[in-house]
Amino acid sequence: MLRPIPPCIQGFALLCLLGSSSVQTSLAQTPKLLEVEVPGGHYVGLPVHWGTYDAVVLEPNGQMQFIEQRDVKSHNILPYGFSPQTVADARVELQSEMGANYETVVFGPYVIAAPLGQAEHWRARFRRLLAGYLRYFEVRQWPLRRPDFPLRVVVYATRAEFMAYSSRHEKQIPSSMVGCYSPKTNRCALYNIDLPNSHATSTEGARATNWSETEATIVHEAVHQLAYNSGIHERLSMDPLWFIEGLACMFEQPGVYDSQQQSGTLVSRMDPARRQRLQPIIDQPNLLLTYLHSLSESDELFEREIEVAYDLSWALTFYVAERMPVEFRKYSSILAARPFGDYPSIERGRDFRQVFGGDLSLLAGRLTTMLRERP
């Protein structure tokens, strides 16, 4: 019979994953790494979750390994303390993985790999986004935590390379997918839509890449990564999809984060295409209310009407971020405090109404008013 994991190790592992401010204090008593043997290999890290039927091991590079307890052959505490991987070590590791046709650059928490001659363009793109992301929440007095692990970004030269990677890490790959972020791997993956090959020179690469076409995908997936590493979302939480996707959709609009395009008007920060598509829905109050009830209690709308789900998630997130920032932050805190596991619809709806109001018709009315605002 396998020995249970000491509670102190599990507790510290969870602090590491959640980025608690007490982690730095706890480093003086850093617990040892755990080695878990499974068929075909082993994992070394900290047990973020160790349940009766499953377990999650957090590796030093920030990747999480989900394990079935029936597959665990043995586990042993090693004589080494846990330490998150440094950005420098992550760069060496990523460069080795990607090979000679790619180059890597670093800045802040980021380690970016891109085809030769392309890395500086992507570093500039992510630098602007990071600055705007931090500024957006600073203005709203929402303190963000510093990422505990390097943020890996890989820009693949071709769609074939991107799909080969994605198929290994994602359960379902939509044919239209051009980028992805996985909380499990903590990696953001994209590809150069218009780059003809991976051997372009710096000048050729800059000319071949249509930055305007890839910007929305860059921003959407990068914001997922930032949100999961700065305390907005938690990687082991079952956050509602409207919250996860709505935030990423909100930042697709350059007026939200780009200092060169920002203005003081609410309408300038709205997504005009999503706003236009929502007009027929807000003209039917009962339909809008039905959709809001659905989003607040489950993710089913994303399975039935995916475009409506994304558009309404954008609108709802945009509204609460702009008009109810205190409540928005409180909602995020409630989600972060939830235990590992499923989020029953009854509890999910209760938490939503507790924060944003019990009468969703009032919220629907305010949302409608916002979407009808004129420049």
pLDDT in tens, the chain (375 residues): 344 454 444 444 444 454 444 344 444 467 789 999 999 899 999 998 888 999 999 999 999 999 999 999 999 999 888 999 999 999 999 999 999 999 999 999 999 999 999 999 999 989 999 999 999 999 989 999 999 999 999 999 998 899 889 888 776 666 667 789 999 999 999 987 654 443 444 444 444 444 455 678 789 999 999 999 999 999 888 899 999 999 999 999 988 988 776 667 889 899 999 999 999 999 999 999 999 999 999 999 999 999 999 999 999 999 999 999 999 999 999 999 998 889 999 999 999 999 999 999 999 999 999 999 987
> Is 56 contained in some domain?
yes
Is 349 contained in some domain?
A: yes
Number of domains in the chain: 3
Contact (CB, 8 A) for 56 and 64: yes
Q: Half-sphere exposure (CA, 13 Å, Cβ side) for 220?
A: 16
Cα torsion at 224, 185, 308, 132 (round to 10°)? Answer: 10
Choose one of 229, 253, 273: the last residue of a domain: 229
Torsions phi, psi for 44 (to 5 deg): -125, 125
- Inside any domain, residue 235: no
Buried b (16+ CB within 10 A) or exposed e, 31-46: bebbbbebeeeebbbb
**Domain with 331 in it:** 241-371
**Is 137 found in the same domain as 53?**
no
| Residue 310: partners with Cβ closer than 8 Å, 6 or more residues away | 245, 249, 274, 302
Last residue in a domain, options 81, 108, 139: 81
d(CA 29, CA 56): 22
Rg (CA), the chain: 22
Is residue 2 in a domain? no
- pLDDT at position 98 is 97
66: which 2 tokens? 């989900």
In a shared domain, residues 322 and 203: no
Please provide residue 198's backbone torsions phi and psi, each rounded to the nearest 5 degrees: -95, 10
Long-range contacts for 356-360 (Cβ within 8 Å, ≥24 apart)?
356/320, 356/324, 356/327, 356/331, 360/289, 360/292, 360/293, 360/296
Does an H or E element contain 302, and which?
helix 300-304
Residues in the chain: 375
219 shares its domain with 92: yes
- pTM metric for this prediction: 0.86
Q: Are residues 73 and 105 in the same domain?
A: no
**Among 23, 46, 81, where does a domain finish?**
81
Which CATH number do you get for residue 28? Answer: 2.30.30.100
**Do 207 and 326 belong together in one domain?**
no
